[in-house]
A and B are shown apart, each in its own frame.
Chain A
Amino acid sequence: MRVLKLGLVRGLLGGIMGWLFGFALVIGARLALGLPAKWNPNLVADTSTVWRFLATAFAPYEPAMVVGAIFFAIGFMIGVGAVTDWLKWARGIETPFHHGARIPGTPEWARYFNVDYSHKVIGVQYGITGILLLGVGGTLAMIFRLQLAQPELNFVQPDAFNTMISAHGMIMIGAILLGVGAMSNYLVPLMIGANDMAFPRLNAFAFWINVPGALLLSSAMFIGGWNTGWTGYPPLSSQAPLGVQYFFLGVFFIGLSSILGSLNVIVTTITMRSPGMSLFRMPIFVWAAFATSIIQLTATQLIGLSFLMVLMQRIMGMGFFDPGGPVWYEVDKWVGGGNPILFQHLFWFYSHPAVYVFILPGLGIISELLPVFSRKPLFGYKWVAMSSMAIALVGFLVWAHHMFVSGMSNFLRVPFMMSTLLVAVPTGVKFFSWLGTLWGGRIEYKTPMLFALGAISVFLIGGLTGPPLGTVATDMNLTDTYFVVGHFHATMFGGFVFPFFAALYYWFPKATGRMYNERLGQLHFWLMTPAFWVMSLGQIFVGTHGMRRRIASYEFELGIGDAQMMVTIAGFVIFTSVLIMLANLFVLSWRAQRAGANPWRSRGLEWQVPSPMPEMTYATTPIVVGEPYDYGKPGSTYVQFAPAPLAPALGAGVTGGD
């Protein structure tokens, strides 16, 4: 059974066994207590179609389904081997740390399907999983955008539509979190001159827990779906179909990954920098990843908690968010004592800072790339670094601006409006510093630079549409309309998607030793950027003309059919352009010409070693002797390499323990 040598296959088998165990555990316990196996006897499976059968057959066994899903994740992690070393430690068995393939004799590609402790392998695993989820989320968007292309179309039924927009939202967020993980895991050790993260085993665990998370999240669509949007507000989510439980659990596990991964990034950044790399000599992306990690480490618990509370409200009748009234499944049962608005506070306490988790690494990428392609120092390095920290901190104080019309206490509106507007200040510092970096440069238009510049223009739309949502009076008009959809997609594309693509193009030659096709890269850019502008401005326009958020169709009388058609067409252009990128990077480039060690003439540490990088990136200790972005200053050097034999005391930053 050679296929069993793949951790992914073992993980899936372990997951299925775990799921069966968890499911049987609950059913067995119910039967032992003399209860019927069905938790809700009123629900019966609809056998008219396979789809309907899947959507209805599991609903009567909701607690068993939930416990099964939890054991699915546990079984997966055991099967894939993410906890093997820890279990050995528990029994007192030593597990020497080594880099390279975990199982001797397996081919190189198999490392990516197994638990591997190299941060470079884990970074790629994050990236590929993220891109896969991006594909799923994007495809869903294409389907429901077709329905919205013209008024009063209804080939997608309302329940399916609601499931699609909900799944699009949360799957995309998962994709973004994985993309952020890809960038921080791959780049932070490279940029600070370390050979791995501080806790390689924890790193592998943090990646692999995403896989059951993503599988649960995606499978939620098939077991009834859920109609709550990605926000999952109760009471709607406490009454939604079974799919909502798998949505909660999927998010919970992806959130767990965020917490563990960010812990790793923080420790790595603090303890494993090269000699001479003071905090203000770190590449600017490391600052961004550091600020991001602080948010992830301290806020993610809140979304996990709030979703877990709804999960328990559903299966255990705990009325956390239930103001009182019969619970949905048994109308004679009265629970309550909770408050639906409490959920929104808990949820947004994470989910607002979360958007800074999505964008800060991307803004860091922009700041990282502009100096290289402008051949100039990053303008106001310390200000840019501190603006990331300021955004992270202020981001914690603004969550209730999502709730201006929610019915929370009215007096809270003004302080939250003030704190929200303050976010504009550090964001402005970033914009102006980027302009200062470009000014007087020798700007070279390679694909990564184009995407960084495109990101600025797109993020500008997102940034400028923020203040009208920040002042309460205008927000009372705009919130929950397509204006918000436009604003949010502009921030996500400008803050994550464009910079992520820039990073893919930029580090692709470093990671693979091959150069992507520049013409196709440029084609991708020139399709995607104008299309995004059309899409974004279209969304903003229809939002101010009566188009609500999250509706399956709209009326002819609104007169927005043409604008909606433009939005849909632009969406398809973006989708196509991304396919071009995937072909460029993952199909064509294997035959492309070799890239040198430093095709961009970057000063960064990782560009001073060969491409692709050796297993141990830095055989000799890099010593930082200058500033990271001193382009245009003759004789200035950022890093030098000391030979390993003479530098035992400066140890190359490899750790073996978690």
Chain B
Amino acid sequence: MTNASTPSGAQQTALIVSAHPLFREGIARLLGDQAQVIGSVASWQEVQGLGLVQAPDVIIVDHDSSDLQEKDLTPLLWPDADDLRVIYVTLSGDKMTVHERHQVAGAGEADLLRALKGERPGASARSTQETTASQPIYTVQPSQGRMERMDKGTDKPKYTRHFIVVSALVAVVAIISVIGLLAVPKFPQASTQALVVDWLMDLHLGVIGILFALVMVFMLYSLFVFRRKPGEEGDGDHFEGNTKLEITWTVVPLITVLIFGVIGAVTLAEVTAAQDDEMTVNVTAFSFGWQFDYPELGIEKATTLNLPVNQPVLFKLRSLDQDVIHNFYVAEFRVKQDLVPGVPTQLRVTPNVEGAYRLRCNELCGTGHTNMLAPVNVLNETDFTAWVAEQKAAVSPEALAELGAGLHASQGCIACHNVSGDPGGVGPTWKGLFGSTREFTDGTSQVADEEYLRNSILNPTSEIVTGYAPVMPANYADVLSEQQLDAIIEYLKTLE
């Protein structure tokens, strides 16, 4: 079947590869005078067998023979022929489709364009043609023309109607979602900070509603309108992108987030701004509870956080040194802050609605985290003043010391700890203990301050004073209330 001949200079040389003799015959007849057929073979192996030193101008391959496509040897047979053209032809029924491919490994689009622009027979025909086999015309798929159209993006007239419909739908759904999101009932607000936070949240919800509508409506619309209908086999429209669109949806969100950044900074400043005549509350968190000191009011270790309405409050927050991180959060106030051992932090709140709320630890802190709660009451002026008076009465040092003296007797402390100054008891005497330097069995020493006394009562065997045995029961954490503990310490202070 080989009928190779010397290619002449002016005429195109062509090589036909197909497993079907009829295909080869038909193509050869089709080419007629337009090209000189230098080979007509059934496989690539036979092409190798031809031993062509110079590549033909054009190679026509049977597109339906996947074997030939997959094992295309042209890049290896003629590695230097960078303008080699391979044309794939499909014959199905009485239709004939012609594809052209530039066939060099690693070639890019630019190469393909360059090759197509050359003055060559056949390459100048630029229209898509599907012809009947009885009226064959040798044509080339007009790749270049299509590519120009691709760069312009979508086929505009075809999609105009869709864009109008989808835009209208986006607008409607956006309005519904924004209204819906804003209509979700909010948790009660009880501070001026909450107003700022919720205002910003509403702004976010607006943008969320719009973006939600934009993406979901576009997607669902496409999913419905551009779905594959039964029996459809073809591909979608070919467009690869649109640089203007990409730039638009990069720049517009960029500007939006920058605006949000500025708004975020301003609202942060508002939420954390210092106010005139702030009341300070020192908050101490420990596993697993809260204590509140009001230094300006002389209230210490309150277990309820009572606040006067409309009074700006500066919370100075700390967690005990040996403790873990906790978080101060009253949901109605909308702001929170961690309490970190060794790192003092602060938070500003102006409660503006009277009521009973709850402080909840918001940072996982161990076993008791769930129940690390404290009652919060925002009171009117009268009630708050009354509460302060009540607290002061209860916690004046004198009153506490008196209570402590009672506990010394009633809780059995007196059995081991005398107050006469006699050092011969089972435990150290309490007289003069506060403020003295304690020498311990391990050679260390420490000044007996409040912290030490508290620890010695709650963990009596942790440090043993020289000359005494570790026999004190370690159950006073259960026995004594917080206030009773304070009372005993206060009593110790009075025993000079």
Contact = CB atoms under 8 A, between A and B. Distances in A.
Contact of B226 (A228, A383, A440, A456): A440
Nearest to A440: B237
A156 to B, nearest CB: 11
A418 B264 CA distance: 9
Contacts of B260: 421, 467, 470-471
B234 A429 contact: no
Contact of A424 (B72, B108, B212, B253): B253
B232 A471 contact: no
A457 B219 contact: yes
Nearest to A228: B364
Interface string B236-265: 111111100110011001101110110111
Chain A residues touching B, range: 35 or more
A471 B216 contact: no
A228 B365 CA distance: 7
A442 B225 CA distance: 9
B369 A464 contact: no
Contacts of A324: 321, 342
A379 interface: yes
A525 B62 CA distance: 42
Contact of B340 (A340, A470, A630): A340
B267 interface: yes
Nearest to A641: B70
Interface stretch (B294-302, B329-337, B428-436): B329-337
A432 B343 CA distance: 44
A441 B226 contact: yes
Given A162-B366, A623-B105, A323 B341 contact: yes
B122 interface: no
A438 B76 CA distance: 39
A645 to B, nearest CB: 10
Contact of B254 (A378, A425, A627): A425
Contact of A436 (B187, B241, B335): B241
A380 B241 contact: yes
Given A158-B369, A159-B367, A380 B264 contact: no
Interface in B47-101: 69-73, 75-76, 88, 97, 99-101
B444 interface: yes
B385 interface: no
B70 A476 contact: no
Contacts of A227: 364, 366-367
A435 B225 CA distance: 13
B488 interface: no
Contacts of A162: 364, 366-367, 369
Interface stretch (B15-23, B194-202, B274-282, B417-425): B194-202
Nearest to B76: A646
A383 B100 CA distance: 29
Given A227-B364, A421-B257, A442 B226 contact: yes
Nearest to A235: B324
B176 interface: no
Nearest to B184: A541
Interface stretch (B203-211, B306-314, B394-402): B203-211
A145 B197 CA distance: 30
Interface in A401-437: 405-407, 410, 413-414, 417-418, 421-422, 424-425, 428-429, 431-436
Consensus secondary structure, chain B interface: mixed
Interface stretch (A46-54, A98-106, A203-211, A546-554): A546-554
B103 interface: yes
A433 B69 CA distance: 32
B391 interface: no
Contacts of B155: 440
A545 B343 contact: no
A20 B6 CA distance: 83
A549 B365 CA distance: 12
B106 interface: yes
Nearest to A387: B250
B154 A439 contact: yes
Given A158-B367, A379-B240, A460-B215, A341 B154 contact: no
Contact of B334 (A235, A435, A438, A477): A477
A453 interface: yes
Interface in B429-485: 442, 444, 455, 459, 462-463
A550 to B, nearest CB: 4
Interface in A530-560: 541, 544-546, 548-555
Given A464-B208, A635-B101, A471 B267 contact: yes
Contacts of B354: none
B338 interface: yes
Nearest to B88: A635
A332 B463 contact: yes
B223 A438 contact: yes
B246 A460 contact: no
A428 B255 CA distance: 13
Contact of A631 (B159, B228, B236, B256): B236
A413 B268 CA distance: 9
A417 B240 contact: no
15 contacts: A233-B324, A235-B322, A325-B341, A379-B239, A383-B241, A417-B264, A417-B265, A425-B253, A432-B246, A436-B245, A439-B218, A471-B264, A477-B201, A544-B187, A608-B70
Given A405-B337, A436-B245, A632-B237, 17 more contacts: A236-B325, A325-B341, A332-B442, A374-B226, A407-B340, A417-B268, A429-B246, A438-B223, A440-B236, A441-B236, A460-B212, A470-B260, A544-B186, A552-B369, A620-B71, A625-B101, A630-B240
Interface of A: 158-159, 162, 227-229, 233, 235-236, 239-240, 275-276, 278, 323-326, 328, 331-332, 336, 339-341, 374-383, 405-407, 410, 413-414, 417-418, 421-422, 424-425, 428-429, 431-436, 438-445, 453, 456-457, 460, 464-465, 467-468, 470-474, 476-477, 479-481, 541, 544-546, 548-555, 608, 620, 623-625, 627, 629-635, 637, 640-643, 646-647
Interface of B: 69-73, 75-76, 88, 97, 99-101, 103, 105-108, 141, 143, 146, 154-155, 159, 184, 186-187, 194, 196-197, 200-201, 204, 207-208, 211-212, 215-216, 218-219, 222-223, 226-228, 232, 234-242, 245-246, 249-250, 253-254, 256-258, 260-261, 263-265, 267-268, 270-272, 321-325, 327, 329, 331, 334-343, 345, 358, 360, 362-370, 442, 444, 455, 459, 462-463
Q: Closest 4 A-B residue pairs measured CB to CB? A: A323-B342, A635-B99, A632-B235, A471-B264
